[in-house]
Structure 1
Amino acid sequence: MWELRSVAFTRAVFAEFVATLLFIFFGLGSALSWPLSLPTVLQISLAFGLAIATLVQALGHVSGAHINPAVTVACLIGSHISFLRAVFYVVAQILGGVAGAAILHEITPPDIRGNLAINKLYNETTTGQAVTMELFLTFQLVLCIFASTDDRRSDNVGSPALSIGLSVALGHLLGINYTGCSMNPARSFAPAVIVGDFTDHWVFWLGPLVGAVAASLIYNYLLFPHTKTLSERLAIFKGFEPEEDWEEREAHRRQSVELHSPQSMPRGMTEKV
């Protein structure tokens, strides 16, 4: 419970609230149907993607800028955060999302609000198809997040914020015509609360959460597994205060991995292999 006594923890939780509020505000706002300027799929996709990229750049160093309960659950499964932090993050994201949707609702003319860009099934998409689509949309997003923010990588990954933003935009370019594209339970929950419409709402929790968990398991335990021991993973999950030599031991492990990696072998040896 040391995190509850940490000022940094409080700031991180508040950052998740603010980031999700702004994300929902700008994202839903881009999808409102103004009579003389109807939104296009490209416009909405770019707005959601740019919003995420901007917020990750602005607040990523404070909280990690999850801005998404599915991402937070994926980080919990991958032993990146504690259970307590995950709970506080999800609550902050949901409250922030509802606050953002409420503000947008109140400052938008009544005849423009519509259903506040709520997620729903379009073009005769079935619930099964919708869950599957949301699963794959969220899978690629979470996979991109882990890969672009992995500090064990020595290659040039470019801008993680831009990569994640483009991943969100990519999901919208495909998913809008199926489900309106959620990939984020907080994004779906916020307008549903304000509008009072929860039709097929479970789809926008189940699909993203399953996709996020699958991506976390595949990346963190199969594609690029961490060297943490089971006891260390349990310590992270329970939120035990890190030992002083934690970072030093992690550095030694990374050096060991690099020394034994085929990519780090001398050029002469790699040519002979």
Structure 2
Amino acid sequence: MREFKSKAFWRAVLAELVGMTMFIFLSISAAIGNSNNTSPDQEVKVSLTFGLAIATLAQSLGHISGAHLNPAVTLGMLASCQISVFKGVMYIVAQMLGSALASGIVYGTRPEGNKNITLIHTDKLLLFGSSFCPPHSLSRHDVTGSAPLAIGLSVALGHLAAISYTGCGINPARSFGPALIMNDYTNHWVYWVGPMCGGVAAALVYDFLLYPKFDDFPERMRVLVSGPVGDYDVNGEETAAVEMSSK
């Protein structure tokens, strides 16, 4: 109920919806590209677009929602007891709505690319886990450099390595939106099972073995029910937005 009544919580959910809409629009538009271009440079362009889009949105929205922008990441955070169940459900709903909205916009503006919008490679199906940098690295203060850039580069590297094999569908929402718009769910389950399993596995290894955040089981259960206090300022006190002024 504390999260439900928090304005900051709903701003975070809205940030996930807006962020996913922007991410899917940019990434799918790049993936459709030029149908006559089958050279490797197309894969490089798509990989860089996915990575740079994530880095930019993580920088822009990370302080609001944590910039999950991926149901697999949200599920991983939930499995490691970093967020509440309510937040996890609302984030995934917002991500899927954003993906469907962006996919519809892309389809309306680029109907000639409708055959490529799903990017489902039915002859090369692989379970590809979404086990890249977790979004809670945005809240770390012991690492120099840019955390959003590190996350974006990890996404770009994943695409460079796997896009020619599976289409690198490491984001279930990214696969869901085009499948919904095109009404084509052929082998769609692969792009949910693979990333979700990878996200959960990576979260469990990192948060339970390598760098556990909580020592006791009751504390983890409290987080699942009501969320961590002050996490992304969602459960904390409301803070006024800072407006930029000219000097």
Q: TM-score w.r.t. structure 1 length?
A: 0.78
Of 56, 60, 63 in structure 1, the residue corresponding to residue 62 of structure 2 is 60
Alignment of 1:262-273 (within 5 A): none
Quote how far apart the aligned CAs of 1:79 are: 1.5
Q: For 1:17 and 1:165, how far apart are their aligned partners in 2? A: 19
Structure 2: give runs of 5+ residues left out of the alignment: 231-247
- Superposed CA deviations along residues 99-119 of structure 1, whole A, max 9, x for unmatched, are 0110111112x3x22324313
Partner of 1:225: 212
Alignment of 1:3-14 (within 5 A): 3-14=3-14
Structure-2 change in CA distance of 1:77 and 1:180 (3 Å): same
Partner of 1:24: 24
Question: Which has more helix, going by share of residues?
Answer: 1
Quote how far apart the aligned CAs of 1:36 are: 6.5
1:187 aligns with 2:189: no
* 8 A Cα contact 1:105 1:116, kept in partner: no
Deviates most, 212-221 or 31-40:
31-40
- Superposed CA deviations along residues 197-234 of structure 1, whole A, max 9, x for unmatched, are 11110000000000000000100011111234222111
Give the secondary-structure state (helix, strand or coil) at the position aligned to 1:40: helix
Alignment of 1:64-79 (within 5 A): 64-79=66-81
| Percent of pairs with identical residues | 43
Q: For 2:224 and 2:199, how far apart are their aligned partners in 1? A: 18
Max radius of gyration: which structure? Answer: 1
**Residue type of the partner of 1:195?**
M
Q: For 2:219 and 2:35, how far apart are their aligned partners in 1? A: 56
Q: What value does the CA root-mean-square deviation take over the aligned residues?
A: 2.0
Partner of 1:91: 93
Q: Could you say which structure has the greater relative contact order, defined with CA pairs below 8 angstroms and 6 or more residues apart?
A: 2
- Superposed CA deviations along residues 173-204 of structure 1, whole A, max 9, x for unmatched, are 11111111111100000101111111110000
- Superposed CA deviations along residues 217-257 of structure 1, whole A, max 9, x for unmatched, are 100011111234222111110116849xxxxxxxxxxxxxx
Structure-2 change in CA distance of 1:35 and 1:82 (3 Å): closer
Structure-2 change in CA distance of 1:49 and 1:147 (3 Å): same
The number of equivalent residue pairs is 228
Structure 1: give runs of 5+ residues left out of the alignment: 244-273
Runs of 4+ aligned structure 1 residues displaced above 3 Å come to: 35-39, 146-150, 240-243
Q: For 1:81 and 1:214, how far apart are their aligned partners in 2? A: 16
Q: For 1:90 and 1:44, how far apart are their aligned partners in 2? A: 24
Quote how far apart the aligned CAs of 1:20 are: 0.4
